Structure 1
Amino acid sequence: MLDATLKTQLQGYFARITQPIELVSSLDDGAKSQELQSLLQDIAGLSDKITYVRRDDDARTPSFTINRVGGDVGLRFAGLPMGHEFNSLILALLQVGGHPPKESAETLEQIRALDGEFLFETYFSLSCQNCPDVVQALNLMAALNPRVKHVAIDGALFQAEVEARQVMAVPSIYLNGQPFAQGRMSLEQILAKIDTGAAERAAAKLKDAAPFDVLVVGGGPAGAAAAIYAARKGIRTGIAAERFGGQVLDTMAIENFISVPHTEGPKLAAALEQHVKDYAVEIMNLQTATKLVPGTDGFTRIELASGATLSARTVILSTGARWRQMGVPGEAEYRNKGVAYCPHCDGPLFKGKRVAVIGGGNSGVEAAIDLAGIVAQVTLIEFDGKLRADAVLQAKLRSLPNVTVLTSAQTTEVHGDGSRVVGLSYKDRATGETQRIALEGIFVQIGLVPNTEWLKGSLALSPRGEIEVDAHGRTSVPGVFAAGDATTAPYKQIIIAMGEGAKVALSAFDHLIRQVPADLAKAA
């Protein structure tokens, strides 16, 4: 199952295991069970602290638990954890085996102190880049706290469960048999949701924060670059973000980041966060900015949803963008019930079904191509009279026998039966006629909208809601700068956002030394 090179690498990792662990499988006669047994036997053969036994004591097959010998760890994989989940498997083995996690001591203590009984079930797909964060967070909680149990379930292998629970988006998390959350969640977000009082404690801590020289709002590529460049000047720097990494976390393949031929969004986001942590930057995660208040005392204030207020001599806004929605009846009602925005994540849940892709740009055509290899039929719907994707992508798309392309088509409504999508209606813009398509899934790929609603009335925004900036990244408010996809800067690309973030950090520093040269000139 594992090649010789990988086995050698794993032997090095498994040398960190300090406590004996046991892999206990439940299998049937299927091919996936045979693959799983081969994988577990290979793993057990790489360390004298890992043993494997087959007991067939669980209804889900194929599945296996990772047990700490003599302990009470509740951690199970239902399916074959390869693809994006292979790292989740390795981390689980190390953590159950006693290797210390990298999270802060405060976070680890918060996990150990959780009181109650928590049985988490997470449905994932092997092609989902959002799922490992959730799986790894819950596995860690199960490894540290015996009151937390976790089962990670490959939805593609357990279709009956997926149908019964109407799981139409991954990751989907259940807690004690009830829906808990959908979509990417960090360990901090999960803890904040189940640990009552955590949000209040965090807000209280922020209320005591001293003013910053530079406060970055947003943790994507622009925000990370800005924080690093500011911190390197030796000035007090903070970064407040809803989730570190931003939209990059939802990006699959990145092949145009100069000097890096290929990477993936979550991997890049983790590298960005680690780079920021190498400097004296105060990182404030799970913080949603709600209002910008320019001050007359030399400080700008950012009000947060938690109730806390942060103040700074300069502010850099890098709040990024999010998926643009169609804005038609039924879309919001059936989101995650057939309406999806990530074909890589949720595509495997629609195996053998009929889906539509909305949007004829590169993202839409790439999504249709990917989905065509999984689903029964793809209908691509484009508002314009022609597709806007690159010619090579269009050629590939039109070569696929199970793809239909509709241009000059305006989606007007999403139809459902109360629990899931059953179709959509569109208007033929050439004839004015309305048509209805029967299908089970709709993947929306029509671009991005800036996260700037909270800034209306505080500074100048373009008609599209983008923050208006000049060549130095200055906004209409003195001392407030902006960078990245939330601004009027052209070409929304990761590498451009990073460059803009670095530029506005230098602009903010230039602003500071001109305002308070006695305090800051030495840091130049």
Structure 2
Amino acid sequence: MLDANLKKQLDTYLQHIVNPIEISVSVDDSPKGKELHELANEIAEMSGKIGLVDAANPRTPSMSVGRTGEQPRVTFAGLPMGHEFTSLVLALLQTGGHPSKADPALLEQIRNLDGEFHFETYISLSCQNCPDVVQALNLMATLNPNITHAMVDGALFQDEVEQRQIMAVPSVFLNGQPFGQGRMSLAEIVNKVDSGAAKRKAAELNEKAPYDVLIVGGGPAGAAAAIYAARKGIRTGLVADRFGGQVMDTVGIENFISVPYTEGPKLVAHLEQHVKEYDVEVITEQKAASLTQGDYLQIGLESGATLSSRSVILATGARWREMNVPGEQQYRGKGVAYCPHCDGPLFKGKRVAVIGGGNSGIEAAIDLAGIVEHVTVLEFGDSLRADEVLQRKARSLANVEIIMNAQTTEVRGDGSKVVGLTYTDRTNGESKQVDVAGIFVQIGLVPNSEWLKDSGLNLTRFGEIEIDSRGATNIPGVFGAGDVTTVPFKQIIIAMGAGSTAALGAFDHLIRTPAPETAKLMQSSSATETV
């Protein structure tokens, strides 16, 4: 089951188990059941502190991890391989007493949660967003005896997926009711179940002293800006909804110079580790809501808190563009999806559509073609915009159909899920319908700048922040970097360079501009001399 190299790595990790644990397995004679039993056996044989017992579980095949003598609180319904193998390893270590590296205050908050919390997370093994959620909930279950968590492989338990109408992963249920969908961090989950957390956090943030530079956004541009600013020895803060931004949703990265191939989450982990090597105050789970000017520049947050700084770097990035047609919002997560890698396996054997004929759209069609029954690509223009090599590959696939001059006008559903779409043939104005179970939208990006419309910043008609060669905006002390700006090419490596430029521009501004307190003293002194 496990190759020699993986066994060697796993053996090293298992040395960190402090307290005896047990793996409880519930298997059948299915191929997956046999694989799961083999995996559990191999793991148990590698450590004297791991026991193996048979158990009955309504979900079979499954394996649960718990301390010896206690009821297990972490369950994997399905075979935890692929992206979820790391989740299994962490569950073994943390159940066995190996400490988490999460924020100690957050860990204490989890231990103090009051109430019964029974979580279930439906995942696909190809989903790169799912492990973060699974690992967060597993950790919560190991820390608090009132919390349990079950990871459920949606491809293996299709009946549950159909019954609960799950069409996007990760999908989290709490005590049998929908709790959340998509990537969620540990802090976000904890704060969602801890009703008083947001108010306490806002009060804490309001007490923060002003920064020299405050970066808004945690993607590649924001990370680069934070590193360059901190290296100048100035007080640096970074506030973001989540660290990593859109890169967290990127699968393969093959054009990051000097690194032939990496994946989004891996790159983000390296970025975060690099940022934390410097004196940067990182504040996550906070969304910016306003930018105002005064003695200091002020960033108002949706939580009600306000952060002040002598300079600000706006690096809020961009998000997937939506079609803005009837039915899209109603069926979002119920057939309308934006991540083919994450949600594709949920549509196994079904017919789907991909909206968009650029690189993202054609890559999505190629990936989906190996999973689903049929893929229909709808492109608004009269030709595809994807690279020629991708076009050739897509056209060679028997179950991929490409329709040009197609303007999607409506997402059709039955009240609970997508059943098809309507489009207009732009060559003759005729309205046509395509019956599909899933619609994957891949039509580009829109800058995350809505919150800046009343700030006085110059924005283009597309919502991009206008910047000069130094990253400066029209407001003194305010800089921009990355996909939210007018930089012409939206690429990771370009965003990093832009973040570095903005940080250097902000530092140059700071050394040429006295701090508010100094400026007031200078004004007072000048007035006295005049008198």
Q: Which TM bucket (shorter chain)?
A: over 0.9
Cα distance in 1, alignment partners of residues 86 and 97 from structure 2:
17
Partners of 1:331 and 1:339 lie apart in 2 by 7
Distance 1:260 1:90 in 2: 27
AA partner of residue 3 (structure 1): D
Q: Which amino acid aligns with 1:45?
A: E
Of stretches 102-111 and 509-518 in structure 1, the one that deviates more from structure 2 is: 509-518
Number of equivalent positions:
517
**C-alpha deviations, 1:260-302, integer Å up to 9, x for none?**
111111111122112111111111111111110022x2x1111
Amino acid paired to 2:319: R
Q: Which residue of 1 aligns with 2:209?
A: 210
Provide, for residues 492-522 of structure 1, a one-character-per-residue CA deviation record: whole Å limited to 9, x for no partner: 00011011101110110000001139999xx
Q: Which residue of 2 aligns with 1:515?
A: 513
Report the identity percentage.
Answer: 67
Is it true that 1:332 corresponds to 2:329 in the alignment? yes
3-state SS, counterpart of residue 484 of structure 2: coil
The equivalent of 2:130 in structure 1 is: 131
Equivalent residue, structure 1, for 2:141: 142
CA distance in structure 2 between the aligned counterparts of 1:246 and 1:400, rounded to whole angstroms? 33
1:354-369 paired onto structure 2 within 5 Å: 354-369=351-366
Structure 1 position 41 matched with structure 2 position 41: yes
CA drift at 1:67: 1.2
Question: 2:23–2:52: 8 Å Cα contact kept in structure 1?
Answer: yes
Aligned to 1:495: 493
Runs of 4+ in 1 over 6 A off after TM superposition: 517-520
| Alignment partner of 1:30 is 2:38 | no
User: What is the RMSD of the two structures over their aligned residues, measured on CA atoms?
Assistant: 1.2
Q: CA deviation at 1:420?
A: 0.2
Q: 2 CA distance for matches of 1:339 and 1:220? A: 25
Shift of residue 73, structure 1, vs aligned partner: 4.0
Q: SS state of the match for residue 268, structure 1?
A: helix
| Alignment-mate amino acid for residue 69 of structure 1 | T
* Post-superposition offset of 1:457: 2.8
CA contact (8 A) 2:310 2:515 kept: no
Contact map agreement 1:355 1:377 (CA 8 A) in 2: yes
Which stretches in structure 1 are left out of the alignment for 5+ residues? none
C-alpha distance in 2 between matches for 1:517 and 1:436: 62
Q: What TM-score does the superposition give when structure 2 sets the normalisation length?
A: 0.96
Match of 1:504 among 494, 497, 502: 502
Structure 2 counterpart of 1:308, from 284, 302, 305 = 305
* CA contact 1:73–1:146 (8 Å) conserved in 2: no
**Given that residues 347 and 371 in structure 1 are in contact (C-alpha distance below 8 angstroms), is that contact kept between their aligned partners in structure 2?**
yes
TM-score by length of 1: 0.97
> In structure 2, how many angstroms separate the alpha carbons of the residues matched to 1:71 and 1:24?
11
Equivalent position of 2:271 in the other structure: 272
| 1:275 counterpart letter in structure 2 | H
The reply to whether residue 409 of structure 1 matches residue 406 of structure 2 is yes
Shift of 1:431: 1.0
**Counterpart code for 2:373:** A
Distance in 1, matches of 2:398 and 2:204, equals: 58
- Whether the 8 Å contact between 1:319 and 1:452 is mirrored in structure 2 is yes
The answer to whether structure 1 residue 421 and structure 2 residue 418 are counterparts is yes
- 1:56-106 Cα distance to aligned partner (Å, 9 max, x none): x11111001001113344000000011110111111111001100001210
The CA deviation string for residues 115-138 of structure 1, in whole angstroms up to 9 with x for no partner, is 100000000000000000000000
In structure 1, how many angstroms separate the alpha carbons of the residues matched to 2:8 and 2:288?
Answer: 47
CA distance in 2, matches of 1:373, 1:425: 25
Secondary structure of 2:482's partner? Answer: coil
In structure 1, how many angstroms separate the alpha carbons of the residues matched to 2:516 and 2:170?
Answer: 52
Partner of 1:250: 249
Q: Distance in 2 between matches of 1:9 and 1:267?
A: 18
- Corresponding residue number in structure 1 for 2:526: none
1:55-454 equivalences in 2 (<5 Å): 55=55, 57-295=56-294, 297=295, 299-454=296-451
Contact kept in structure 2, 1:73 and 1:96, CA below 8 Å: no
From the superposition, tell whether residues 518 and 327 of structure 1 become closer, same or farther in structure 2 (CA, over 3 Å).
closer
Any idea what SS the aligned residue of 1:328 has?
Answer: coil
Query: Tell me, which stretches of 5 or more residues in structure 2 are unaligned?
Result: 519-531
- Residue 497 of structure 2 aligns with an amino acid whose one-letter code is G
CA distance, structure 2, for counterparts of residue 518 and residue 290 of structure 1: 24
Q: Are positions 1:477 and 2:475 aligned together?
A: yes
Q: What amino acid does structure 1 have at the position aligned with 2:453?
A: K
**Aligned residue type for 2:14:** F
Give the distance between the partners of 1:8 and 1:436, measured in 2 at CA.
54
Give the deviation of 1:45 after TM superposition.
Answer: 1.1
Question: Which whole-Å CA distance do the structure 1 matches of 2:199 and 2:508 have between them?
Answer: 36
**CA distance in 1: counterparts of 2:247 and 2:183, whole angstroms:** 12
Q: Secondary structure at the match of 1:415?
A: strand
Q: 1:238 offset after TM fit, Å?
A: 0.5
Look up the SS of the partner of 1:355 in the other structure: strand
Give, in whole Å, the separation in 2 of the partners of 1:92 and 1:257: 32
Superimposed CA distance per residue, residues 366-393 of structure 1 (whole angstroms, 9 cap, x where no aligned partner)? 0000000000110000000011101110
Measured in 2, the distance between the counterparts of 1:478 and 1:307 equals: 25
The one-letter amino acid paired with 2:423 is Y
Letter in 2 for 1:492: K
The 1-side partners of 2:454 and 2:36 are apart by: 58
The 3 A distance-change label for structure 1 pair 401 and 518 is closer
Q: Quote the Cα distance in structure 2 between the aligned partners of 1:518 and 1:293.
A: 15
Deviation at 1:432, TM superposition (A): 0.8
